[in-house]
Structure 1
């Protein structure tokens, strides 16, 4: 599997104003509603940032199948957090998505970009939360990762590749999720079709909210766009030597909300759990 060839070309100019805006705790405030779909062969002098499609916040419907993608489906049929198939019997997601009975009664849909149909629906029989995760922390600092053991193997499984080496700074990636598509916390529902969003991964971007550069990744999207509530646990993909691998799991905003409230989406940097930092822990369970 390859990431879209246009990621670097499209995103390089689009992210430039965001890198400046995210030097402080809040991000850029450009109105995302003024953007239009990216042109394949641009014939104007408009910036790439003005050609990014507005719909995660500011993403686009999935442009390809992702056979490893997973979503928690609640008993009422609504979608929970996302995850990634890393073995025919295991899905990895964020710990805060399943901690303390939050996933009780849920099952998983694996391999469909439509959160409500297709793919394989399977129950999970065990939740393995990283032993150093502490949900009592207000910002859920660090080690936000969990594994779900599936009741039965996924037929014709195509797990996402894992690597023990983290992405380099200044590397482009692709974020996937079914989270809400408006910036205000709780202001709208989640997407039905999996959303994609181009991001720049770079731990020098100034993530806050208890960011740990040893075990987490900091990334940023174009101004006015970014992951949102409901995207937790979803994959951040990157490429190395022509192969796509699972670089991170969406964890939390990397900037505070106003007056102690929840941050609005698309206003700055985002924190993801660094999968490479937990490579050994993951392998110890899925290979047991």
Structure 2
């Protein structure tokens, strides 16, 4: 799939407008989050007093260079940072009126995958190489809904079809190594969405893919977001992706939020010097 509409730098194509009203209540709120990593003889303050939120039907992009704290922030939502050495030093992560940082592992296990799901950049590190991909998608439903094996298999097959996997019945029986990178990422998306979560966190979901497949995956995420009215948190360093897909953007630098706002406002009138430098470093594609 191609996009031949001219853009200047990472600016949004002409005619792109916010997809959802901004007056909805937030689904997921992070308030004053600080995350430390206690290493041998030192403490790394990876996330420092970060606050952000996302609403249903909205895409919030979190951008910044490597080491800015964006992935550590995303992983904190479901407490997926390795502990130790990770310590959640302060703040709250609220979903459905509950602070996820205060839930027991059992309580949080009911949220992971069912209410809030994640898609990672490298599916080969997340998919079980010894289990057929269809069974991995079905397992999410059996865990969260109590479906029978036959019911879960039928729903998993439908999920593979929904994310655009050709010949889903064949792919259902295959192992991850038998699929291309793009198909593995679609399996990851199917696994994340099969239980119909209300929030999807996508952490650099297209980094390992070629440009054509990146476009297809991003278009797929947008389509499924609209279909299921999800809130999406997109973690990325690619400002062109942000311009095409996000409604609002949070810019992080050295563990802190330095700027946040509507994508058009931030890209057209960046208030922080770091944001201006990020935009200036983005390759520009001028109209002929």
Greater relative contact order: 1 or 2 (C-alpha under 8 angstroms, separation 6 or more)? 2
Higher Cα radius of gyration: 2
Greater share of residues in helix: 2
TM-score by length of 1: 0.29
Give TM-score scaled by structure 2 length: 0.29
